[in-house]
Amino acid sequence: LKSNPSNNEEKEAQTQLMKSDELQRLHSQALSAYQQEDYEAAISLLDEILAVCVWDAELRELRAECYIKEGEPSKAISDLKAAAKLKNDNTEAFYKISRIYYQLGDHELSLSEVRECLKLDQDHKQCFSLYKQVKKLNKQIESAEEFIREGRYEDAISKYESVMKTEPEVPIYSTRAKERICHCLSKNQQPTEAIKLCTEVLQLEPTNVNALKDRAEAYLLEDMYEE
């Protein structure tokens, strides 16, 4: 206004000020909703602000937190990835992305994201601890799959049993391990054990196609054609 005190400029300035006040008001409401654990309301308010303040890393991180609490991890990842690009040396975002992928059972993507964190800060305690865990798990799964390709089913079973010991807290890894062990048992002509284990997997995931196929193979070995 000082540089160009015309009527038009004044109107424009007033409009921008009102917009700014409105965004600040929405921001306060969003924070308040987040603190009261009303994550759905917080997301909806943050959506409005981010439509204008597209490049605000902090707001994206806050919305990601809300998505995590609401059980929408893929949306959280998308916000955190944006925040990692918008803010320099954002180790926290990479750490969170890696953790989400890990919880979802995507150990390979988890490993790649945690490496990004360590590239920025090799002494980052949380990232280093997660990196060691994911790397160990990743290596065990890779080597189990290699044994399966070579037809070394006993070795693969033993390796997948190690996977379950390495990560007993995140259920998806145990379920995947059991699914692969059932496959090995079926291929290794051990139908009784295969049927038992595949049934366990199918109680958790009734539409697991691999477990259904492997159990079918095991039933064939037992001449249980109806099943």
Does 114 score more than 90 pLDDT?
yes
Residue 9: the pLDDT is: 85
Instruction: Give the Cα separation of 110 and 21 in Å (integer).
Output: 40
Looking at residue 93, its amino acid is: A
**b/e sequence 13-37, b meaning 16+ C-beta within 10 Å:** eeeeeeeeeeeeebbebbeebbeee
Residue 153: the pLDDT is: 97
Does 7 score more than 90 pLDDT?
no
Residue 8: the pLDDT is: 84
Residue 43: the pLDDT is: 97
Residue 5: the pLDDT is: 79
Q: Find the DSSP H helices in 87-152.
A: 91-103, 107-120, 125-149
Does 157 score more than 80 pLDDT?
yes
**Quick one: which of 90, 19, 86 has its CA closest to 52?**
19
- Model confidence over 168-224: pLDDT tens digits? 999 999 999 999 999 999 999 999 999 999 999 999 999 999 999 999 999 999 999
Quick one: what percent of the chain has pLDDT higher than 70?
A: 100
**b/e sequence 152-181, b meaning 16+ C-beta within 10 Å:** bbebbbebbeebbeebeeeebbbbbbbbbb
Per-residue pLDDT band for 20 (boundaries 50, 70, 90) equals: very high
Quick one: what percent of the chain has pLDDT higher than 90?
A: 93
Residue 199: the pLDDT is: 97
Residue 129: the pLDDT is: 97
**Structural tokens at position 73:** 């991890």
Instruction: Give the Cα separation of 182 and 161 in Å (integer).
Output: 12
Q: How high is the mean pLDDT of the chain?
A: 95
- The pTM of the full predicted model, rounded to 2 decimals, is 0.88
- Model confidence over 27-72: pLDDT tens digits? 999 999 999 999 999 999 999 999 999 999 999 999 999 999 999 9
- How would you write 41-60 as a 3-class SS string? HHHHHHHHHHHHCCCCHHHH
**Structural tokens at position 226:** 């109806």
Per this entry, what is the length of the chain? 227
Residue 3: the pLDDT is: 79
Instruction: Give the Cα separation of 20 and 130 in Å (integer).
Output: 41
Residues 6+ apart with CB under 8 A from 108: 138
Residue 126: the pLDDT is: 96
